[in-house]
Amino acid sequence: MIPECKKIFLVDISSFVFRAYYGIRPLHHSSGQTTHAVFGVVSMMLRLIREKKPENLVIVFDSPKPSFRKEIFKEYKANREAPPEDLPAQFEFIKKFISLYPLPSFQVDGFEADDIIATVVHHCREVKDCEVVIVSADKDLMQLIGDQVSMYDSMKERLIDEAFVVERFGVGPALVGDVLALAGDASDNIPGVKGIGEKTAGKLVKQFGSVENIYDHLAEIPGKLGENLKNSREVAFLSKKLVTLKHDVPIEFNADEIHLREPAQAALNDFFREMEFKTFLVGDAALAEQAVPAQPKVESDPFKLVLSEDELNALLKRLDSVPGFSFDTETTGLNTWKDLLVGLSLGLNEKEAYYIPLEHSYLGCPVMLPRSKVIAALKPYFENINKFKWAQNAKFDMEVLKKEGIEVVGLAGDSLLASYMLNPEGAHNLDFLAKKYLGHQMITYESVVPKNETFSSVPVEKACEYAAEDAWAAFNLCKLLHEELKKEDLWHCYDHIELPLVPVLASMEEKGILIDQTLLRNLNDDFTTRLIQLEMEIQKDAGCEFNVSSPKQLATILFEKLGLPVQKKIKTGYSTDVEVLTTLAPLHPIAQKLLNHRSLAKLKSTYIDQLRSLVFA
């Protein structure tokens, strides 16, 4: 059934589609066709592949035909509105992208994507050392998490593991289905037990175990809760059937079918041109689209390592002869205040770049130039406003050099900033930009720096190849992207507003702000106490315990249990936003208390918690 493999990524594509459709501003093809869902899915898939580098990947589709759950309960998902008129056509373009890449995919009539994923997970658990990563944030799939299986929310870049599930539901993954059966699900029209939300369901399941065990001990559950359970026995067991995922969907595949191959780039480029997605074009196609000459490729030995005084003096003479240079720093980490400058690279033209090691440390490391001597020699060039400087993420490097006593002036370009202005929704890291615009595959950090070590442990010769390449790429990218900015009429904004802000932001971050830590600690204690008190009052008004921060549970309390008038409906049920609660405030005291709770929680999480975590001593 499941081939021998180390790791499989299973992508719930429906979640990508709807997140893209509702989360990206509308885009239109010149023909008038709406395309933003296609653009979003393509962007998310390419990013997932680029960052996670999966060897095995499967896209999983829902069945276009009704699932077996519809036969069990004809009202299943009956409350869902028809998809927006412009979405079905986009779904076909998404399928075309998947087939052209090509990305392996599964779809089985009568079964939802969740059941196919559950089936793959079931069989992977029978294969030794086969890990599964489910790419989704769907709570229904959390019941699959556990041995060999995790989830990844690509939008929030968050790993969802067993600890996350326990925190969310109060029970482990194996009992999530029982919690969902009791609480129901308005989005799928799964009824659940009246008056029971996720929090109460979690407590019941934690105490008694499964739905079956809860009913075996029904006599031990007093009051209204026990009465609701007694009156909803059939509904509870029906809901359990609806939320239980199938693990015997008839699918067969082998290792070749799930292995992620290199993309069929020519076919993809044709598709991107057809969709008018110029930003996704790769290699020569991207260069041709931009109507600029092909960029210089790295020659066999274009980078030079600077270890001696003679080599440093030769570099200084070359700096005297050029109008400007690109620069990049290598450090022991990403904290510009705490981490150490390990080396510095400079790019002088389209082909020439240098690396000066300062703090490498390993057995057999050659003698390096004194740090103070290098800094003193380069300082006049960095602080000469008439020497142009280019970089990738210049703010970081400027902050690192400021700590060394160098005030960088004359910044003339930042390839990261230029890329963002041209395409705010795309990737902007150096590896991606070099591949996209220069047709060049960069040396990756992971291939150079051993795990759990820093750049200081890298041999200087290898460090030179990696670091000087960064300066070379920044030089060439700035030259190319600047032409693009001018063509798009963005140059004035870039040159007169965005670039001048970089040193301002670097200076602000370097100076920081004064914080009264005692006051923050006291505010945190005060807000925490007030939030707990408000939660207790809200739950007393509601007549039951529930998650005050859950819009779904809150909607159930307000509009079903308390019978308050519904103000407006949203895709997932009833809205409980500020406007709704403000309207309800004169009708019931719980609404004003909820508004107060939200205000305090927002202030605490946004300001108090964040400021306390950022204190640098």
Same domain? For 587 and 498 the reply is no
Mean pLDDT over 222-230 rounds to: 91
Inside any domain, residue 276: no
Domain tally for the chain? 3
- Residues 65-121 pLDDT 10s: 888 898 898 988 888 788 888 899 999 999 999 999 999 999 999 899 999 999 999
Q: Is residue 121 part of a domain?
A: yes
Clarify whether residues 125 and 249 are in a common domain.
yes
Residue 297's pLDDT is 52
Which one of 511, 528, 550 terminates a domain? Answer: 511
565 and 467, same structural domain?
A: no
Give tens-digit pLDDT for 280-289: 888 655 545 5
More confident residue, 616 or 583: 583
Over 70: is that where the pLDDT of 301 sits?
A: no
- 270 and 288 in contact (C-beta within 8 Å)? no
User: What CATH number is given to the structural domain containing 587?
Assistant: 1.20.1060.10
360 & 408 share domain: yes
Task: Give the pLDDT confidence of 54-65 residue by residue, as tens digits.
Answer: 999 999 999 888
**Same domain membership, residue 535 and residue 488:** no
Over pLDDT 70: what percentage of the chain? 95
Which stretch of 261-275, 417-431, 488-502 has the lowest confidence by average pLDDT?
A: 417-431
Q: Is residue 271 part of a domain?
A: no
pLDDT at 5: 64
Which pLDDT does position 19 carry in this prediction?
87
168 in a structural domain:
yes
Tell me, yes or no, whether 180 and 292 share the same domain: no
CA distance 491 to 502: 16
Residue-level pLDDT at 612 = 86
Same domain for 366 and 333: yes
Predicted pLDDT at 65: 87
Boundary of a domain, candidates 223, 258, 293: 258
Q: In this structure, is residue 193 part of a structural domain?
A: yes
The model's pLDDT over 191-212, given as tens digits with 9 standing for 90+, comes to 999 989 899 999 999 999 889 9
Helix axes 36-52, 87-100, angle to 10 degrees: 30
Q: What is the mean pLDDT of residues 322-348?
A: 95
The pLDDT assigned to 289 comes to: 54
Residue 299 has pLDDT above 60, yes or no: no
Together in a domain, 459 and 563? no
Q: DSSP labels for 318-378? A: HHHHSSEEEEEEEESSS-TTTSPEEEEEEE-SSS-EEEEE-S--STTPPPPPPHHHHHHHH
User: How big is the chain, counted in residues?
Assistant: 617
Across the chain, mean pLDDT equals: 90
Peptide bond into 102 cis (omega under 30): yes
Domain containing residue 230: CATH number: 3.40.50.1010
**Residues 302, 380: Cα–Cα separation, whole Å:** 25
Final residue of a structural domain among 493, 511, 529: 511
Task: Give the separation between CA 614 and CA 617, rounded to whole angstroms.
Answer: 10
Longest dimension (CA), the chain: 90
Q: Which domain holds residue 548?
A: 517-614
272 lies in a domain? no
Count, in order, helices (H) and strands (E) of the chain.
Answer: 28, 14
C-alpha 467/C-alpha 599 separation (Å) is: 47
pLDDT band at 293 (very low <50, low <70, confident <90, very high): very low
CA distance 468 to 205: 58
* Per-residue confidence (pLDDT) for residue 292, from 0 to 100: 43
Q: What is the pLDDT of residue 337?
A: 84
Is 291 found in the same domain as 198? no
Kindly state whether residues 174 and 240 are assigned to the same domain. Answer: yes
Q: Compute the distance between CA of residue 3 and CA of residue 520 in angstroms, rounded to an integer.
A: 55
- In 3D space, the residue among 2, 591, 494, 563 whose CA is nearest the CA of residue 257 turns out to be 2
What CATH number did the domain enclosing 450 receive?
3.30.420.10
